Chains A and B, each alone.
Chain A
Amino acid sequence: MGNIGVLVVLLLILGGLVWLLVRALKGKEVERRVIFAFILVAVAAPLLLTITFEMKPTPIVRALYDRIETLPPDSRVLLSFDFDPPMSPEVQPMANAVTRHVLARGLKPVFMTLWATGQAQFNITLTDVIYREFPDLVDGVDYVNMGYKAGNEGVLNVIRTDFRKMFPTDVNTVPWDSIPVLEGIRSCSDFSLIVSLGGGKPGVKEWVLFVGDPTGVPTAGGVAAVVAPQLYPYYPGQLFGLLGGVKGAAEYESHFRDNYPQFESMDTPAMVMMGPQTVAHLVIMAFIVIGNTLFFVTRKKEGRR
């Protein structure tokens, strides 16, 4: 029933666009409200019918995935949640996806944030991923949340050489020495991987400049789509992998689900969001074609006059 619904909706959209194209060939303009109606259907239908698409990861996304796959179990991975609610629709899904992958591989994530709002975002991952999908994991033994530290780049400058100095306890004030996950960690150089999630300042760029590049620890990022182009120059030299926007998150979710069938029923918010994004983009492209058709038909008619 669901598949029939999807087919019907897609056929309706396609039929409507073809009809508009025919009208354009006759020189008839498309009214603004018709465009809005098509966008409404293009965005709402995939959400309501949960239309998702399988996605093959691009090399820049695949690089992060493969690195996590090849790390030995019990490796310590530093994940920094540097984003706020406005960025959350794009970055939260990738934060959840990467955390899930790290825990599924038996690695030991150490969470922290440079943003005051980051802690609330981490709590979402804690509830939706760690508590729900990995209920047997123990805080302090299998993962730890070091919390928020004010100071932006100043924090990075310190933890580059002395992590404990900036975080003497975790977010629940458990002392450093009582946290098994942190045993042997003295500075950022002792982590196997650093992933910065967010798109603002301080963010991925600051992690690369102050920690990743000086220490040589492999560094990757997950950012909102509008920020990603600014970070491409760092790839693959200082940034070995980058998840850009909903598409990057969806590629990661899709690839993970294909390789970890035990997580078949996991939440895939990015893949769900790619449904309306894909259909809406195709509809916009169709309208651009219709608009150009109308333009050339009109120009030809005026030429004849």
Chain B
Amino acid sequence: MQMFHNSTSTVLIAVLKRDLVIGLRHRSELFNPLVFFFIVVTMFVLALGPYETTLRQVAPAVIWVAALLASTLSLDMMFHSDLDDGSLEQFLLSPHPLIIIVVAKILAHWLLTAAPLIVAALFLGLMVYLPQTAIMPLLLTLLLGTPVLSLVGAVLAALTVGLRGSGILLTLLILPLYIPVLIFSVATVDNAAKGLAITGELYFLGAILVLAATLAPLATTSSLRIRLG
């Protein structure tokens, strides 16, 4: 009898593919945060009026706050359906390290939710009169910042999975943790709009991303074991 032990990368790719396929077959869940993002930014524009100087000033803040809120919407689903249908049990009982599966799930979540958000943010930037010079920095902050949202979000999504009313609880717990990303991202885009240097803020965002990428998968793995144990 020939036995075949899959390599870690095979497992990672298999879980990533699984989550991407499921995500793409569930289009409404994919589009809802995006629509929410559009609506929030549009409401700010409606409330503040069509004044270029005002909008230009608040543009980075509006886009980033809306992006944060939109990204919390999809967090709850990260482990929820897997818990309900018993897939999570099977993940925990796999002979492969749980952290590999967790990393694949976080990566899939980022690709499914943040990638469309980044594209939308660039268009919305134009709508709120974000200066041309700030568009590229906005893209950079989103590329560095949104993976942190998925990583840190995964820890809390794992901690609250299966709790009653976990959706609102998760939002309340997660938003304060997003503050460092918000501060440095908005500062980057603000400075870029004023023509100032932005490297310092970007380094900070990069450091936060490295820290989150190192610790969040470990914390998520432990949280899942605690929740199911």
A and B co-occur in one complex: no
Which residues of chain A have a CB within 8 Å of any CB of chain B? none
- List residues of chain B with CB under 8 Å of any chain A CB: none
